[in-house]
């Protein structure tokens, strides 16, 4: 009796959850190792120079991971493919219908901004301060550099968690299950921010809302069959949302209630509902 062993690369395709966790580990490694390298190689440098070098190195490392190692080395998500075929598999091309994709990306971001602002106004002492996103970059406020740094999660997190991981999960699970698993993995991915100096409480909160927003991102990716609106929305949320979350929170049960309503539930259902309406109109005969 001859036992045939599955090829490692094919094994990863058929065991999508395991493959997703391996990809998550690689994402952590490639996203955070450049920070350590910068400290080792450059020692004490100015904050501005530090964030620029880190950004360029992280962006470059992740480009190598998701454009070379994953499709060529691991042959994920669909086996051996050219770069063009890989781009089509993860739905980063074609860009059209570009008007719809742009509109949905901005719409999703606007929903998050609005819900976050409502939460901030109700749950604590909100301060409208344009320096949060337009100020000079400092250690406690990235300011205008947010428009640069947000490119990294906007592009590479979407390629990772929707383009590759969700595509893998859809091979084995129903759309609903794949969306749930993908959202949970996306939320859990943010636990690594503890090692970047973020406090545990803030990290746990971020993991929770990232999970729910991950559900919405996954739903939009599946229904539009495009990664473009996800990238646009993710970038805009990361770049502008700090302006609407500039709040000193109160210390009562209402804060938790407002968080559940305005940060978790409302953005998810509004996004899914509006995507359903827009996609239904798109498919209706004219």
> How far is C-alpha 15 from the geometric centre of its chain's CA atoms?
23
- Inside any domain, residue 221: yes
- Inside any domain, residue 67: yes
Count of CA atoms in the C-beta half-sphere (13 A) of 263 = 23
Residue range 188-205, pLDDT digits in tens: 999 998 887 788 988 999
- Inside any domain, residue 188: yes
- Inside any domain, residue 2: no
> Is the model's pLDDT at 212 over the cut of 60?
yes
Residue range 104-145, pLDDT digits in tens: 999 999 999 999 999 999 999 999 999 999 999 998 899 999
Greater pLDDT, 181 or 4? 181
Q: What is the pLDDT of residue 1?
A: 47
Give the count of domains, the chain.
1
- 88-97: average pLDDT: 90
What the block records as the tokens of 264 is 């978790």
Sign of CA dihedral 88, 90, 91, 93: negative
Place of tokens 């992280």: 58
Greater pLDDT, 282 or 52? 52
- Inside any domain, residue 1: no
- Residue 161 near residue 182 (C-beta atoms within 8 A): yes
- Inside any domain, residue 255: yes
Residue-wise over 14-26: b if at least 16 C-beta within 10 A, else e?
eebeebbeebbeb
- Inside any domain, residue 65: yes
- Inside any domain, residue 257: yes
- 18-28: average pLDDT: 97
Domain that holds residue 57: 8-283
């Amino acid at each position: 009796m001859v036992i045939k062993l599955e090829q490692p690369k094919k094994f990863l395709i058929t065991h999508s959850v395991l493959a997703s966790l391996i990809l998550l580990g690689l994402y952590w490694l490639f996203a955070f190792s450049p920070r350590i390298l910068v400290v080792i190689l450059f020692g004490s440098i100015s904050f501005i120079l530090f964030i620029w070098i880190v950004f360029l190195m992280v962006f470059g490392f992740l480009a190598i991971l998701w454009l070379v190692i994953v499709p060529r080395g691991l042959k994920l998500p669909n086996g051996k493919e050219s770069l063009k075929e890989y781009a089509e598999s993860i739905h980063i091309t074609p860009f059209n219908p570009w008007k719809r994709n742009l509109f949905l990306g901005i719409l999703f971001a606007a929903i998050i901004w609005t819900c976050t602002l409502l939460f901030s106004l109700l749950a604590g002492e909100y301060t409208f301060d344009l320096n949060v996103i337009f100020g000079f970059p400092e250690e406690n406020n990235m300011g205008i550099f947010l428009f640069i740094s947000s490119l990294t999660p906007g592009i590479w997190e979407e390629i990772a968690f929707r383009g590759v991981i969700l595509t893998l999960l859809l091979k084995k699970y129903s759309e609903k299950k794949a969306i749930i698993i993908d959202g949970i993995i996306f939320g859990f991915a943010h636990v690594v921010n503890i090692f970047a100096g973020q406090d545990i409480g803030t990290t746990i909160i971020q993991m929770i809302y990232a999970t729910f927003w991950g559900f919405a991102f996954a739903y939009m990716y599946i229904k539009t069959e495009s990664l473009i609106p996800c990238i646009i929305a993710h970038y805009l949320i990361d770049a502008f949302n700090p302006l609407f979350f500039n709040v000193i929170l109160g210390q009562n049960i209402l804060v938790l209630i407002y968080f559940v309503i305005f940060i978790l539930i409302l953005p998810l259902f509004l996004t899914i509902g509006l995507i359903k309406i827009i996609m239904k109109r798109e498919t209706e005969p004219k």
